[in-house]
Amino acid sequence: MGHHGHDHTADAREGNRRALALVLALTASFTVVEIIGGIVTGSLALLADAGHMLSDNLSLGVALFAAWLAGRPATPERSFGYRRAEILAALANGVTLVAISVWVFVEAYARLSEPTEVLGGPMLAVATLGLLVNAAGAAILYRSGGESLNVEGALRHVLADALGSVGAMAAAATIILTGWRYADPLISVAIGLLILGSSWKLLRDSTNILLEATPRGLDAGEVGRRMAAAEGIVEVHDLHIWTITSGFPALSAHILVGSSEDCHARRRELEELLAHEYDISHTTLQVDHLGDHHATLQTLRFPSRLD
């Protein structure tokens, strides 16, 4: 009745862990430099980016731990193992991004009310170095990420940091050329908005997975109608499509076939259809002959066109 589908390969999981560990080492090393640079230069833009990078260290640590948990074997109590640990880590990363953006807005408001002196030259040097570090980290995670929402969460942190470094560089250049102190808090607000925007997709996707919504890019109605149109199928109902973890969709449904049909043959055909047309390999299909099963509650009912 069920078909156990594909899994993330051990090599992919190990590659994700190595990438996360390397980027964590990079960002942790540079965080101290940026904090000191922000204090010495008096730049809120650098401090905002340093605060975000500090959260990167925590988030990457959580993501690395989640990647390790996701590779642990399943148990009778946890039949899917700890696969959703990476989704929880991605959700935590998204919430952290929102919190950081709020802190930046509060600090920027104070600086706009009373702008402070900023050392533009050292600020530009630190921001440029930060951009190089973040660009290297983003490249590592991008090559490793694949379909992992956990790695994508870490990548979004690093990309937001890179944008923050670009903003800090722009603010430093403005201060050097014009002496306009408001450039630093104004750029900080822009950095906060970029950080806030980067959290949206992460929060949306992780929340949808935890709520077991139909995976993005799949239309449950279309899938149900396609299944119902297959040879020998009378009706498809109680259809559920959800995501176990990144890149691991699952489907369950109750199938009614004609009284003279071969249940096992029809099930195997539907499993092949779902795997080839929708890339859904983990399926649980209950197949009954018409009239042999009486359901008290049916959802997402798709009768055959011949019915």
Per-residue pLDDT tens for 4-15? 444 445 566 677
Residue 225 has pLDDT above 70, yes or no: yes
What average pLDDT does the structure give for the chain?
83
How confident is the model at residue 293, as a pLDDT? Answer: 64
For 152-178, write each residue's pLDDT tens digit: 777 887 887 888 888 889 999 999 999
How confident is the model at residue 88, as a pLDDT? Answer: 84
How confident is the model at residue 16, as a pLDDT? Answer: 75
How confident is the model at residue 307, as a pLDDT? Answer: 46
- Whether the domain at 2-210 and the domain at 220-303 fall into the same CATH topology: no
How confident is the model at residue 6, as a pLDDT? Answer: 44
Q: What is the CATH number of domain 2-210?
A: 1.20.1510.10
**Greater confidence, 248 or 272?**
272
Residue 82 has pLDDT above 60, yes or no: yes
For 9-52, write each residue's pLDDT tens digit: 556 667 777 888 888 898 888 988 988 998 999 898 888 878 77
Residue 240 has pLDDT above 90, yes or no: yes
Residue 105 has pLDDT above 50, yes or no: yes
pTM of the predicted protein model:
0.72
How would you class 279 by CB atoms within 10 Å of its CB: exposed for 0-12, middle for 13-18, buried for 19 or more?
middle
How confident is the model at residue 11, as a pLDDT? Answer: 64
Residue 200 one-letter amino acid: W
Q: Which CATH superfamily is domain 220-303 in?
A: Cation efflux protein, cytoplasmic domain (3.30.70.1350)
For residue 45, give the nearest of 149, 172, 132, 135 by alpha carbon.
172
Listing DSSP states for 39-72 in one string gives HHHT-HHHHHHHHHHHHHHHHHHHHHHHHHHHTS
- List the domain boundaries for the chain: 2-210, 220-303
Residue 243: band (very low, low, confident or very high) from pLDDT cuts 50, 70, 90 = very high
